A and B are shown apart, each in its own frame.
Chain A
Amino acid sequence: MDFGPHLLLASLEGAVGAAVLALTALGLSLVFGVMRIVNVAHGAFFMLGAIVAWWVADALDAGSALNFLAALIIAPLAAGAVALVAERTILRRLNYNPESTIVATIGLLYVIEQVALMTYGPDARPVEAPWDFRVQLPWFGYSGYKLMVIAASIAVMLAVWWGLTRTRIGLMMRATQFDRETARAFAIPVDKVYGGVFAFGAMLAALGAVLVVPIQQAHYLMGNDPLLLSFIVVIVGGLGSLRGTVLAAVIIGMSDGIISVFFTPTLAKIIATLVVAMILVIRPKGLFGTQSA
């Protein structure tokens, strides 16, 4: 293949990665922005989404399109429910102390991973894509499903943006983020907002995972890479800035896709991690951030 089409293919692959990454990172960013806590178990919720998707498809067995649709609804709900229980029983009792929460969510990560290993097993299993057609470009054919992933991710992000800026619940969330005490004084149920935001963040991660299982198989350790990448995205974008998160996800997802086509992955990862560390050292607020970490 010539360089031009090769680059196009790499960019398309990068865009698919960026679309999933943006959804996952958006969940992490929302939780950090509103609740001011770092959720280390975010990758575990991602993995949970993928595994539940496989279970649903396996149990339903009603054709690939219907299986996928059912998974798309049930998996985020399941992950959201687990997150809600964890939030109510653990995080709330810690009073959202940032350092205690990190320790507790590390524990949660281990628990979810081990339970997945004990029930789902160590194998990687795929979920069939809902349809199977290829978009024929002049140089190569490209999976129509992957294009749909990009479209779906954009649609969800627009919906989240609309929800945050145009609805009453979104207003409550923004008020809580802005000033917890004042929000409470204005009779906003801050406690419930926290529970809802934590569950919603997990649901976004699970949704990203359901979109990714037809491309990449479900595995009990699959959450680690998205967790690290989401961290990077949220930090580079600026802690608490959703716009920054989405922008950073696009930049990092695209360049990750393109770099890994042209360079050795280990060196690229080393440089990327060091760059992120240095960005935080020089600008602790991140690139577009308004609040300090």
Chain B
Amino acid sequence: MSRGSFNKAAALHLSAVGVLFALHFILPDYHHGNLARIMVLASFAMAYNISFGYTGLLSLGHAMFFAAGLYTAGLMAQFAGLGAAGGIILGLAAGFALAVAVGCLALRTTGVAFMIVTLMFAQAAFLTIFYFGEYTRGDEGFIIPSLQRHLFGLSLAEPAVRYFVALTLFALCVAVSYGVARSSLGRVFAAIRENEERTRMLGYNVFLYKLAALAISGAMAGAAGAAYGLLFGYVGSTFASIQYSIFPLLWVLMGGAATVLGPFAGTLLMFYLVDISSAFTTANMLIVGLALIGLILFFPKGILGTLRERVAPWLP
């Protein structure tokens, strides 16, 4: 890879964050709020991209890592009066710890068995939320008290603060993804995705690398979950359901697996597809379903994946 392409890629990602910064001053209220939400969800999608896109681990249980962060931050705010900074850090730690624990067991399997094991663990996590319904209030969920939704004295209910916290999280996730994609760690991840046996034969401890990918992914998803709860003030079991394991897969596929900005492109497109279609139909899931089928049939590489293939091979 030449030095020029390195600078080009770095410049692209910096300017993407720059554009999002500038949009804060331009966008009307409605889209401003949407974009904050999209940036947090895109962070979740980028977390999924680390394990699925770069390492080839198709998990169907990522909602549990998102929910681990969401519930850790939410419950700590509700019952221990913990503020936002601590909530996000603990949420990240919870996602990381759960990913390591699940990974130690689930990574003993591969392929279809891995999908089903992660699905089962996520289902168990989802049911656990109901089992402790006394605290989590199950389906109904709870509102995080606004007193706890403060970061360095600024209220997260304030649209501008919320936007910049979301942007910071998003920029950090882009930096981590970019770093992973460029590092030797990322090369090993890709090697595992392309041919696990060969990577093992070359002397790499495949299990440890896969565990590392899942741990990074879980930590990012946990942080995104905690931020989502604290920024928008609501914690509910929907975020732990199978749907929220499917969504990041959809977003990543749509934007392009194993591209840094693909998850964001996918989240943005899908969010507005559902948003616009809900103006004239209530069948959002029909759109999601058709999008999934259409994508896997005609664009298995996604938007940025196709771009990389045709126009910009330097895209990380």
B288 surroundings in chain A (CB, below 8 A): 107, 110
Contact B117 A270 (CB under 8 A): no
Binds B, one of A52-60, A178-186, A278-286: A278-286
How far is it, in angstroms, between the C-alpha of A104 and the C-alpha of B293 when the chains are bound? 5
- Asked whether any CB of chain A lies closer than 8 Å to the CB of B115, the reply is yes
Question: 12 A-B residue contacts at CB 8 Å?
Answer: A38-B115, A90-B293, A99-B58, A100-B296, A100-B300, A102-B115, A104-B292, A106-B289, A239-B112, A273-B121, A277-B117, A284-B113
- The residues in A between 114 and 161 inclusive whose CB is less than 8 angstroms from any CB of B are 114-115, 117-118
Contact B124 A107 (CB under 8 A): no
Contact A106 B246 (CB under 8 A): yes
A281 surroundings in chain B (CB, below 8 A): 105-106, 108-109, 117
A104-B286 CB under 8 A given contacts A277-B105, A278-B105, A281-B117:
no
Contact B297 A90 (CB under 8 A): yes
Contact B131 A267 (CB under 8 A): yes
Most buried by B among A94, A107, A270, A284: A107
- Choice from B60, B121, B249 contacting A277 with Cβ under 8 Å: B121
A109 surroundings in chain B (CB, below 8 A): 289
How far is it, in angstroms, between the C-alpha of A158 and the C-alpha of B123 when the chains are bound? 34
Contact A280 B113 (CB under 8 A): yes
B 280-299 binary contact with A (CB < 8 Å = 1; else 0): 00010110111111011100
B297 surroundings in chain A (CB, below 8 A): 90, 93-94, 104
Contact A284 B108 (CB under 8 A): yes
- Choice from B116, B253, B286, B295 contacting A293 with Cβ under 8 Å: B116
Overall SS of chain B's interface? helix
Q: Categorize the interface residue count of chain A.
A: 35 or more
A293-B123 CB under 8 A given contacts A104-B292, A110-B286, A117-B283:
no
- Asked whether any CB of chain A lies closer than 8 Å to the CB of B120, the reply is yes
Nearest B residue to A37, CB-CB: B112
- Asked whether any CB of chain B lies closer than 8 Å to the CB of A213, the reply is no
B109 surroundings in chain A (CB, below 8 A): 280-281, 284, 293
How far is it, in angstroms, between the C-alpha of A284 and the C-alpha of B109 when the chains are bound? 6
How far is it, in angstroms, between the C-alpha of A63 and the C-alpha of B297 when the chains are bound? 45
Contact B289 A108 (CB under 8 A): yes
A114 surroundings in chain B (CB, below 8 A): 283, 285-286, 289
How far is it, in angstroms, between the C-alpha of A109 and the C-alpha of B288 when the chains are bound? 10
> Interface residues of B, CB < 8 Å — how many?
38
- The residues in A between 80 and 94 inclusive whose CB is less than 8 angstroms from any CB of B are 90, 93-94
- The residues in B between 234 and 256 inclusive whose CB is less than 8 angstroms from any CB of A are 246, 249, 253
B 90-121 binary contact with A (CB < 8 Å = 1; else 0): 00000000000000011011111101110111
Contact A108 B293 (CB under 8 A): yes
- The residues in A between 255 and 290 inclusive whose CB is less than 8 angstroms from any CB of B are 266-267, 269-270, 273-274, 276-278, 280-281, 284
Contact A107 B290 (CB under 8 A): yes
How far is it, in angstroms, between the C-alpha of A99 and the C-alpha of B112 when the chains are bound? 8
- The residues in B between 26 and 81 inclusive whose CB is less than 8 angstroms from any CB of A are 58, 60
Contact A273 B123 (CB under 8 A): yes
Contact A103 B296 (CB under 8 A): yes
Q: Other CB < 8 Å A-B pairs besides A114-B289, A270-B124, 6 of them?
A: A106-B246, A111-B289, A273-B121, A292-B113, A293-B111, A293-B113
A110-B289 CB under 8 A given contacts A267-B131, A273-B127, A281-B106:
yes
Most buried by A among B108, B121, B123, B290: B123
Contact B285 A110 (CB under 8 A): yes
Closest CB in chain B relative to A178 CB, distance in Å: 19
A293-B105 CB under 8 A given contacts A90-B293, A99-B58:
no
Contact A103 B127 (CB under 8 A): no
How far is it, in angstroms, between the C-alpha of A284 and the C-alpha of B105 when the chains are bound? 12
- Asked whether any CB of chain B lies closer than 8 Å to the CB of A215, the reply is no
How far is it, in angstroms, between the C-alpha of A113 and the C-alpha of B288 when the chains are bound? 12
A93 surroundings in chain B (CB, below 8 A): 297
How far is it, in angstroms, between the C-alpha of A278 and the C-alpha of B117 when the chains are bound? 8
- Asked whether any CB of chain B lies closer than 8 Å to the CB of A98, the reply is yes
- Asked whether any CB of chain B lies closer than 8 Å to the CB of A46, the reply is no
- Asked whether any CB of chain A lies closer than 8 Å to the CB of B130, the reply is yes
A104 surroundings in chain B (CB, below 8 A): 292-293, 296-297
Nearest A residue to B300, CB-CB: A100
- Asked whether any CB of chain A lies closer than 8 Å to the CB of B183, the reply is no
B253 surroundings in chain A (CB, below 8 A): 103
- Asked whether any CB of chain A lies closer than 8 Å to the CB of B278, the reply is no
A 216-234 binary contact with B (CB < 8 Å = 1; else 0): 0000000000001001000
The 4 closest A-B pairs by CB, nearest first: A110-B289, A107-B292, A293-B113, A114-B286
A239 surroundings in chain B (CB, below 8 A): 112
A98 surroundings in chain B (CB, below 8 A): 111-112
- Asked whether any CB of chain B lies closer than 8 Å to the CB of A235, the reply is yes
Most buried by A among B105, B120, B123, B288: B120
How far is it, in angstroms, between the C-alpha of A267 and the C-alpha of B131 when the chains are bound? 7
- Asked whether any CB of chain A lies closer than 8 Å to the CB of B205, the reply is no
Closest CB in chain A relative to B23 CB, distance in Å: 31
Contact B120 A103 (CB under 8 A): no
Contact B285 A235 (CB under 8 A): no
- Asked whether any CB of chain A lies closer than 8 Å to the CB of B128, the reply is yes
How far is it, in angstroms, between the C-alpha of A108 and the C-alpha of B296 when the chains are bound? 12
A107-B112 CB under 8 A given contacts A266-B127, A266-B130, A281-B105:
no
Most buried by A among B58, B121, B127, B283: B127
